[in-house]
Every structure is written in structure tokens, then in C-alpha cells.
Structure 1
Amino acid sequence: MTSTTATPTTAESRIARVLTDALEPKNWIIAVTVLIGWHAGHFVGVGWGLLGAVFSGVIPILFIKFGERRGYWGDRHVRRRQDRLIVIPGIMASVIIGMTLMIAFSAPQEMIALIAAMLATLVAILAITTAWKISVHGAVSAGAVIMLAQAYGPWMLVGYVLVALVGWSRINLRDHTPAQVVAGTALGTMVAATTFAALR
């Protein structure tokens, strides 16, 4: 009886780990920058999207991995709230550099709006993180889906199924409480939707 009960839990944990890793913020960021880039200017827009992905997704994950190797924080998901207070400003610096380059070299306005929405979300996450651990996975995934819906149409809202799976994985792994996941999802949706709509 004991092994029968434990097996589903172990299986669920493995599924949750796969979802958490496969649908981590970096992957959402790369996907949304490329897709919004295509919407903004097809192949030229994709080029801008790849630039945005470098400064918003690739450089930040390299920064996180560097800190992980040095033992500054546990892993690429940066579980401890106090560590996030160091990591998030570092990510913000990279995003600001990327957005500055886009503005300087006349990137499509929709791409600038996208990166600005990412930056605004990071600012909101950082403010909350000073007192409480909010789900970055939830905020980034929800923000990506709502901006894709604004660009491509409401059918993209089906992506919230993936957002829900991400939230479930974070709760299952006990990296976040349900309240932290719901708060992150709501924050990402509201900040990204408002900023992107205002600037695009």
C-alpha cells in the first residue's frame, strides 16, 4: 500500500519538474519576442525579436547560471526571496540595455512596447519581492500570453492552459504557494497588458 501511494506522487513531481523547466521564464521570453517580432515586421521583426531575446532571456539566464556555479544562489529558478533581490536588478539592467539599443536603432514600436512591458513587470515583481515571494514563472508566462493575444487575437488566450500548468508545477514542487502563483499570474497579466497596449 505504501509504494502504491508514493508512486503517483513521485510521478507527479517528475511531471511538475519537466513543466517547470520546459516552461521557465527564459523560454517564454524567447518565444514571445520572436512571435511579436514576426507580427511587428516579419523577418526583419524576427531579427529585432532575437535581439530582444538576447538581452531579456539569454543574458539573464547566463547571469543566473554564473551565480549558480559560484554558489550565490541554489539553481536557475532562484528559489530564495533574498537572492531574487540581487538577481532581478541584474536582469533589469540587461533588459534596459536591450531596450536602449532598440530605441537608438529604430526598432518597430511594437517591439519596444514588448520590452518595456517586460521591464515594467520586473519592476513590479522587484517591489513585491522586497516583502513577499511572488511567482516569476506565473508573471512571465501570463504576461507573454496576454501580449500575444493583443497582437494576434483572442484565440491566443488558449495559452493560459500552459500558464495554469506552470502554476500547478510550481505549487506541486512546493516552490510557491497557490496565493503566490495566482498573484504572479494576475500581476503579469495586468502589467504586461497595460504597458504593451499603451506603448504599441
Structure 2
Amino acid sequence: MVIGARRSQDEVGRCPASARGNAGWRGVRTRQGGGVRPEHDTTWGPGGRLGGHDRVIFPDMMADSLARKVTDLLAPQVLVIAMPPAVGLIAHGWPGAVWGLLASALCGGVPAAVIAVGVRSGRLDSHHIVDRARRTGPLLAAVAAVLFALLVLALLGAPRLLVATVTAMLAALAVTIPVTLRWKISFHAAVSAGTVVVLAQVLPALPTLAAGAAVVALVCWARVRLAHHTPAQVAAGALVGALVTWGTLAAFGME
């Protein structure tokens, strides 16, 4: 068995017609030489056939698979839904977790539902909204949901940290939405960086920031790896997310 070997661009480009017709195979152009490689099937057998005893695993495909998993696991919707209850629980116990659940339902659940409806109807390409031109509607829905959540939490007397966290979400949207109308700044990077800053308020700061920086770097790598963003776009997203969140928390007296 040959593991980790890479075929030349010419070999990959000459994939057989039978493989191209396979329902599970989609060709995508490689970064070098304009060759073609399969996006989903990861093995080639003898004679160029899929399967067989001698399989070749392409490192590029393994990297793409990892990037997709990171993108899904650390998507903005996931973090916005998971982070407030976790922060509330750590800072204020179970009552704080309940407040956090309310915040996540409004700030994360409502926009996620809007996106899901858009994907199902075909108006959106995926829950990541890769097409920048399609982002405006879901983002405006997110602004409305976060603004409503902020009003509800403030009026009902939610813990100060959660109010500050939701305010930071609104401030980050106020900065990133005008940018994304002209340039595809990374929301994955912005939300992941902002989440790290908030978690550093309730967990040991230095270890949290160090581990969080590694996670943010992984998210940035995944978005660039999938060709959904450029390095500049993920760097800008991470910087905006971190600075806006830190500035908002500082305005609430939290540093």
C-alpha cells in the first residue's frame, strides 16, 4: 500500500472518463499547472480506477477535508449560539447559563434560521454564504436579532458581562457589514477572535488568549485553504473582531 504519495499534475489531470462520470467525483482545478483533482473521492487504484488494493491518499484532499470540518465546527452561527451560555455558566452559574441561552437563541438562533430558509429555497449557496453579494439580507436579519436581544437583556436585568457581549456583537456587525458590501472580510475570523476575547474574561486570561490565538489561526488557515478568503481578508476579520470586542468590553469597565 502506498500512503502519502502524490501523483504529478499530468497524472491527476488524466483521470479516466469513468471516474469523471462517477456521481461522487467532482473535478476542481489545482493551484499549480491548471490540473484537475477529485474533490471528494480520495483514492485511486491501479490503472487510474477508483478503489483497488493499491490506494493513494492525496495530502491535499486531507487538508481540504480538515479545512471544511474546521469551517463547519467553528462557523459564526455555532460560536454565537454556544458562547453566551458557556460564558454565563462560568461567570454566574446556572442562572447565568439561562440568560446566555436567551442571548444565543436571539443572536444566533434567529439568524441561523433565516440562513437555513435561504439555503433551502436556493437563494443562498450554503450556511457559510460564500457569495458576498448574498450576504446583505442575512446580515441585516442578524443586526435586527442582536439589537432586539440587547434590548431584552438590558430591560430584564441580565448580567453585565452578557449585555457587554451582545453589545460587542452589535458593534462588530456595525463595522464588518459596511466593509463586506465592498470587500469580503471574513466573519469566521472576526467571530472566532471576538469569542476568544470574551472567554478571556471568564477563564485564565493568558492561557485562554494563547490557545485562542492558535484556534483563530486554524480558522484563518481553513478559510484561505478553501479559497473562500484571501490572507488579507481573514487577517482583517480577526483584527476587527478582537479589537471591537476588546474595546466594547473595556467601555463596560471590563479589561
TM-score normalised over the length of structure 1 = 0.94
* Distance (whole Å) between structure 1 residues aligned to residue 213 and residue 104 of structure 2: 21
Which whole-Å CA distance do the structure 2 matches of 1:10 and 1:36 have between them?
36
Residue 140 (structure 1) aligns with: 191
In structure 2, relative to structure 1, the CA distance for the partners of 1:197 and 1:31 (3 Å cut) is farther
Q: Which moved more, 1:105-114 or 1:6-15?
A: 6-15
**What's the CA shift for 1:143?**
0.4
Give deviations 1:130-168, integer Å, cap 9, x for gaps.
211100000000000012113322221111211111111
Structure 1: runs of 5 or more not aligned: none
Of 24, 46, 52, which residue of structure 1 is paired with 2:75? Answer: 24
The partner residue of 1:73 within 104, 112, 124 is 124
- Percent sequence identity over aligned pairs: 37
Greater Rg by CA: 2
Q: Does residue 154 in structure 1 map to residue 234 in structure 2?
A: no
The residue number in structure 2 matching 1:63 is 114
- Establish whether residue 94 from structure 1 lines up as the match of residue 134 from structure 2: no
Partner of 1:194: 247
Q: Measure, in 2, the Cα distance between the counterparts of 1:30 and 1:75.
A: 18
The residue type equivalent to 2:247 in the other structure is T
1:12 maps to: 63
RCO greater where, 1 or 2, for CA within 8 Å and sep 6 or more? 1
Count the aligned residue pairs.
200
Map of 2:233 onto structure 1 = 180
Aligned equivalents of 1:98, 1:133: Cα separation in 2 = 26
> Take 2:208 and 2:251, find their aligned partners in 1: how far apart are those partners?
20
Equivalences for 1:94-113 in 2 at 5 Å? Answer: 94-113=145-164
Is 1:131 matched up with 2:169? no
Runs of 4+ in 1 over 3 A off after TM superposition: 2-6
Matched, 1:82 2:133: yes
